[in-house]
Amino acid sequence: MVVFSRSESADRRIKKLIELIPNPKNVIVVSDDKEVKFFAKSCRASTESVEDFLSAQKKLARKVARAPEAEISYTQMHKINEELKKIWLA
């Protein structure tokens, strides 16, 4: 999620959002700001540096780019479509 804040500082907005989340353990706050990271951790949220986050995103993008395309024949595709029609259009 990306949130823009106009009337308050970004740090203050992030802290408010963390406080409003019912289960902060399921949240990763990406920031290099020590105060924001400390606050997030005190609320039991996880934190990650911007550099680590971007590095992980680049690795994921490379992995997806290298993933082989599943190749199926026209006959297999037709058979799958017919099975799905029976399930969804019955």
Q: In a structure prediction context, what are the per-residue pLDDT tens digits for the chain, which is 90 residues long? A: 777 788 899 899 999 999 999 999 999 999 999 999 999 999 999 999 999 999 999 998 888 777 677 788 888 988 999 998 888 886
- Residue 46: strand, helix, or coil: strand
Cβ distance 50 to 32 under 8 Å? yes
Tally of CB atoms within 10 A around 53: 15
pTM: 0.64
Domain ranges of the chain: 10-88
Say how far apart CA 74 and CA 50 lie, in whole Å.
Answer: 45
